Structure 1
Amino acid sequence: MTTDLLIPLLLPLLALPAARLVEPYLPPRTASWLLTGACVVLAAGSTAALALLAFSGLSLLPAVADLGRWSPQTLRTENGVDVPVSIAAGAVLGVLLVVLTRAVLRYVRWARRLSRELDVHGTGELVLLPGADAVAFAVPGRGGRVAVSTGMLAALDPRERTALLAHERAHLAFRHHLFLIALTLSVTLNPLLRPLSSSARFALERWADEAAAQRIGDRTLVAHAVAKAALAGRPHHGFALAATGGPVPRRVSALLTPPPRAGGRLPVVLLSALVIGLAGLSAETALDSAADLHDGIEIAQIGR
């Protein structure tokens, strides 16, 4: 069982090459759903693997074995439990749970603090922030709000402002903050998923770019707005989504390139299947290992 559980722990290493392979061919919306879903499944698989490894070690303790009424010797023989590996897995799992709790609390504090700060300047969907700093971002809560500074508005012409606001409103309309939360929690549970998460975040920004371009009807205008906003401003830190996020040069280049024609579905299907297959393998291995542990416990109960 210990060897099988290495699969969900190591599969995230293959997720980045797979993401880089599919990213140029998938539409941003599809890439966002696919990569975010893969992150969540891979994080769940690796966390389940650590939990199973830790529990298999705990199951050999006499107190736990007596509570469950099974023979620890039989269980160790049936499942091939590696005690040092189980101890290490338990320690890692404990650290990850502490870090996850801190991340959740940090997000809650950030959301409350930002909501109070924005309430000072307005309670509508669009909040105007005073100051020369060029910032613009979208945040959930109260139906979703877009915050933009007077410095950012001064850096753009009227048409570019419209394009920038369309980008931020697209983040809210498609609930991209939920994707961002899922990605943040996944990376917290498995830091090896950070590169895959970065690809998914880039896809989210590209999704908002394309939505803004479709709404405005001018891809070049959106590209200019994104480029000027990035040059004038600074990335917004925290959990907010902003037009200045992600690799801006790549986003601008994609907007200045004509969108791919419809067709050629076979490569998209095959590449999507590759990412889904990796995530599915992680989930299946974790579930099979859980079933093996359950079967081993039943045998150990008989052999008590």
Structure 2
Amino acid sequence: MMLAVWAPLLLPFLAAPLARRLADALPPRAAALTLAGTTAVLAVGTLCSLGLLAVAGLLQLPPVAAVGHLSLPWLTAAAPDAPFAAAAAGVALLVLTALAVRTARRRRRELRAARAALPPHAPVRPPRSPRGLLASLLQPGEPPLTVLDDERADAFALPGHLHETGRIVVTSGMLRALDGPERAALLAHERAHLTARHHLYLALAEHAADLHPALRTLRSPLGYHLERWADESAATHVGDRTVTARAVGRAALAASRAPWPARPRLAPAAHSGPVPRRVAALLHPRPTPRPTPRHRATTLALAACLTLTTAATLEATADLHHTVEAAQYTPGHHH
């Protein structure tokens, strides 16, 4: 068990760079899904390994061994170092639990503050603008749009509650900074975030970054590819990549001057992330993935890492189960 249980804690250092390299060669949506899937598998493997280490040590405590009818001398002889590893794993689990609670509370607090800063009526649909540009962008059945009468420029996709889609929030300052087609691209971008529920991907990356140091390196790439995913959706919606690139660039420039202060950090926004890189990608034709031998090798290596993580976790769990059974049925040990 001891060899298998350590593998999920070490493999993320190899899998994370492979996932980043592979994501750069994939279309935005596939890249985001690859990074999110890799993050989820490695995070679960890390938690399972720490939990198994902690349980293996707990079994050697006399009260636990008595309750489980285990032979304590046999367990001690079989794994003499288990208590030390269990103590370290227990401390790590306590720290990770505290970090997870802190992250969840911070996210909840930011979302509450953002919702409290909005008008009480939802959705808030603005009156027809003088040029009639904004009203034509609102389509039935789409996420509601809230326009704040604020000169500071900002726009983002505010997630809803558990079973709610959420809403698009945009300030009047941001609308004034863009022309009609750019507004359409901006709203299509934010709509794509809500439709695909990108905030869940960001929450996953935020919590995973607390679990393992290697997973922190996947948080920024995932955020970038989520923005690129929304960029491509917006470009398809408006039918013009140049307009979308211009909207992203002008929105980022306007927001950098005086952003709306209550925007949650985990709320996706068109003007977040490495904007110059996103604009450059939009100014080129839609990328067509062409697998190369190097990309195939990276894919196989990443798949092997994830498979080994899963297999090692299952093997360590099975080994612990067999250890418990052996300790219960050791010759000379009576229930």
Question: TM-score with structure 1 length normalisation?
Answer: 0.92
CA distance in 2, matches of 1:176, 1:182: 10
Query: 1:259 is matched with which residue: 286, 289, 307?
Result: 286
Question: 1:267 offset after TM fit, Å?
Answer: 6.5
CA distance in 2, matches of 1:126, 1:239: 19
CA distance in 1, matches of 2:184, 2:25: 29
- Hey, what does 2:137 align to over in structure 1? none
Q: Which segments of 5 or more consecutive residues in structure 1 lack a partner in the other structure?
A: none
Q: Is the 8 A contact 2:107 2:264 kept in 1?
A: no
Query: 2:223 is matched with which residue: 198, 201, 205?
Result: 201
Q: Which region of structure 1 is more displaced relative to structure 2, 186-195 or 293-302?
A: 186-195
CA distance in 2, matches of 1:157, 1:174: 26
Query: 2:154 is matched with which residue: 135, 153, 162?
Result: 135
Percentage of matched positions with identical amino acids: 43
Residue identity matched to 1:227: G
- Hey, what does 1:87 align to over in structure 2? 87
CA distance in 2, matches of 1:221, 1:278: 41
* 1:159 equivalent in alignment to 2:181: yes
CA distance in 1, matches of 2:167, 2:302: 33
Question: 1:81 offset after TM fit, Å?
Answer: 4.0
- Hey, what does 1:299 align to over in structure 2? 326
Report 1:1-304 matches (<5 A). 1-79=1-79, 81-120=81-120, 122-124=122-124, 125-141=144-160, 142-234=164-256, 236-261=263-288, 264=291, 271-303=298-330, 304=333
Residue identity matched to 2:304: G
1:189 to 1:262, Cα distance in 2 relative to 1, 3 A: closer
Question: 1:197 offset after TM fit, Å?
Answer: 2.1
Question: 1:7 offset after TM fit, Å?
Answer: 1.6
1:196 to 1:17, Cα distance in 2 relative to 1, 3 A: same
Question: 1:94 offset after TM fit, Å?
Answer: 0.8
1:168 to 1:267, Cα distance in 2 relative to 1, 3 A: farther
How large is the RMSD of aligned CA atoms in angstroms? 2.1
Residue identity matched to 1:127: T
Question: 1:57 offset after TM fit, Å?
Answer: 1.1
1:205-244: CA deviation from partner (whole Å, max 9, x where unpaired)? 1100001011111111111111111122147542211112
CA distance in 2, matches of 1:262, 1:186: 28
1:174-195: CA deviation from partner (whole Å, max 9, x where unpaired)? 1212222222222232243011
CA distance in 2, matches of 1:197, 1:280: 22
CA distance in 2, matches of 1:23, 1:262: 11
Q: Is the 8 A contact 2:165 2:195 kept in 1?
A: no
Q: Which region of structure 1 is more displaced relative to structure 2, 283-292 or 230-239?
A: 230-239
Residue identity matched to 2:16: L
1:262 to 1:186, Cα distance in 2 relative to 1, 3 A: closer
Q: Is the 8 A contact 1:121 1:129 kept in 2?
A: no
CA distance in 1, matches of 2:80, 2:301: 32
CA distance in 1, matches of 2:121, 2:269: 19
Question: TM-score with structure 2 length normalisation?
Answer: 0.84
Equivalenced residues, count: 304
1:80 to 1:38, Cα distance in 2 relative to 1, 3 A: farther
